[in-house]
């Protein structure tokens, strides 16, 4: 999507926004730290003006014999939707989703937040405007 069409989408009524980040070259120790994952999920909603419905849940996933060497997976449910983090310390990789029904998410801030938290050397981001035809009234 071009910057012009993205700007048009953001200025058109829509239900929400979905920011995705795939981070590369991250610090193995940070990516393998349950407390950092928990802290990010616990702190970020407030920094974005969102409201947690529960404490974050963070689990260790042991991986498999394929492309997944294991890491931490965490999730926090917010009134506005959710934020999830999946780390792969042995690959220096993290996959993150932040989905909200709020409009105007500061994706630049979110990218910097996670780049700093996991000492990422590079990141790919995607931003999707969701619910462009969301009904204006209840049925």
CATH of the domain at 80: 3.60.90.10
* pTM (two decimals): 0.89
Catalytic residue numbers read 81, 86, 101
Question: What pLDDT score was predicted for residue 136?
Answer: 86
Assess if residue 138 is contained within a domain: no
Residue 10 pLDDT grade (very low, low, confident, very high; cuts 50, 70, 90) = low
Domain count, the chain: 1
> Angle at Cα 91 formed by Cα 85 and Cα 96, nearest 5°?
20
State yes or no: pLDDT of 124 exceeds 90: yes
pLDDT one-digit tens code per residue, 55-100:
999 999 998 878 889 999 999 999 999 999 999 999 999 999 999 9
State yes or no: pLDDT of 9 exceeds 80: no
Assess if residue 19 is contained within a domain: yes
Could you tell me which residue, 38 or 14, shows the higher pLDDT? 38
Assess if residue 139 is contained within a domain: no
Assess if residue 136 is contained within a domain: no
Q: d(Cα 28, Cα 128) in Å, to the nearest integer?
A: 29
Largest CA distance in the chain: 50
Question: What pLDDT score was predicted for residue 13?
Answer: 77
Nearest alpha-carbon partner for 53 in 32, 77, 26: 77
Sequence-distant (≥ 6) Cβ neighbours of residue 28 within 8 angstroms: 89, 90, 92
Give the range of the structural domain holding residue 91, as residue numbers without chain letter: 3-130
């Amino acid at each position: 999507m071009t910057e012009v069409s993205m700007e048009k989408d953001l200025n058109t009524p829509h239900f929400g926004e979905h920011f995705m980040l795939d981070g590369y070259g991250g610090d193995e120790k940070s990516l393998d730290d349950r407390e950092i994952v928990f802290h990010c999920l616990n702190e970020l909603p407030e920094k974005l003006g969102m409201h947690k419905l529960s404490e974050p849940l963070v689990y260790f996933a042991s991986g498999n014999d394929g492309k997944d060497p294991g890491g931490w997976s965490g999730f926090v449910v917010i009134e506005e939707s959710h934020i999830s983090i999946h780390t792969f310390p042995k690959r220096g990789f993290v996959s993150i989703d932040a989905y909200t029904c709020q409009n105007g998410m500061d994706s630049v801030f979110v990218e910097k937040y996670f780049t700093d938290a996991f000492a990422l050397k590079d990141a790919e981001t995607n931003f999707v405007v969701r619910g462009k035809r969301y009904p204006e009234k209840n049925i």
